[in-house]
Amino acid sequence: MRFFLILLSFVASGVSHAVEESEFESRYESEIMPYYNLQALRFHPYSNDASKKIPYKLIKRGHQDLLVILPGKGEPLERYAETLFDLKELARDILIVQFRGQGYSSRSLSDPEKTHIRKFNYVVDDLNSLFEYLDIKNKYRRISLAAHSMGAHHGIRYQLAYPLFDQLLLNAPLIGLLDEEETDKNYYLTLMLIGVGMANSYVPGKGGWRDWSFEENDVSQSMIRYRNFRRIDLDNPTVRLGSVTVRWAYEAIKSEKLLFDESPRLLAPITIFQAGKELIVSNQKQQMLCDQLPNCELIRVEDSMHNFLQEKDEYRNQYLEYVKSSL
């Protein structure tokens, strides 16, 4: 089946209980964070190194269905406190997982700000180890995925290895970092840099964590929500991440090729929310992949930036409404 492209120009108004920007600051400390802190942050060992751990939260409410949430690059789980609060009436248990090398998880390199991974396969192995430990396949009747950016990429990779999810709801997924004409030359550049011993270095021109101002940011048009997740990094230096390493970029390009090669095996319904003002990942690659999938719908939110769940109400609520109505 070919994909459908839907241009959403309406302002979603039917999202029940979603926190509004005008209320965000007044409700954050009194309601949102207390709800987030009801469930303790738990830790699970890396699949190949028990001395290192990934954090997760499992919100159990006695439901037969489960929603798995996978954040994007550099997103500590606390960034999803508002989202978890907005989904508290959802008739599902919720599991939110942090990847290795992100947020409060252990790091792979001595420099904790480098976004680095030796193999993307490791994330798939970590997820499978955690899912088996929690026995979610046997405990839940239906399991859905809601994932952002890099989390969406790893979610698709997991689905290819272990077809667990009954549906995948992906916002601004990192299918590819670059448009098609840029991908090959950057692949060979990363190979060359790895060959001269720069695998663990930042990609050329990039560096460590920086406190970007709202005017400089390329992910959100909501000053209130942007200021909040910037505060999380300022208050918690251990969660800060800078740019990716050469090895990470090489693995991402290799993994992108696998997604396209194996895409016909993705039979579960997949919805891609695409940001019209995308500056982080390739919209072209999202459309190319969706076009190859047997059961994919692409929804373009014309004026949204990359971080749907930390965007202005009119863009954030479109994704939230879709998640609630489709589960």
pLDDT per residue, tens digit, the chain (327 aa), is 344 444 444 344 444 569 999 999 999 999 999 999 999 999 999 999 999 999 999 999 999 999 999 999 999 999 999 999 999 999 999 999 999 999 999 998 999 999 999 999 999 999 999 999 999 999 999 999 999 999 999 999 999 999 999 999 999 999 999 998 899 999 999 999 999 999 999 999 999 999 999 999 999 999 999 999 999 999 999 999 999 999 999 999 999 999 999 999 999 999 999 999 999 999 999 999 999 999 999 999 999 999 999 999 999 999 999 999 999
CA distance 115 to 160: 24
Phi, psi of 262, deg, nearest 5: -100, 0
- pTM for the complete prediction? 0.95
Per-residue pLDDT, 37:
97
Going by C-beta distance under 8 Å and a sequence separation of 6 or more, which residues neighbour residue 283? 274, 275
Per-residue pLDDT, 181:
85
Q: Look at the chain and report how many structural domains it folds into.
A: 1
CA distances from 92 to 15, 60, 67, 82, 97 (A): 17, 8, 6, 17, 16
Residue range(s) defining the domain that contains residue 278: 4-326
Phi, psi of 4, deg, nearest 5: -105, 135
The single-letter DSSP state of residue 43 is E
* Residue pointed to by tokens 């997604």: 259
Per-residue pLDDT, 1:
39
Per-residue pLDDT, 92:
98
Inter-residue contact 47 to 128 (CB < 8 Å): yes
CATH code, domain carrying 305: 3.40.50.1820
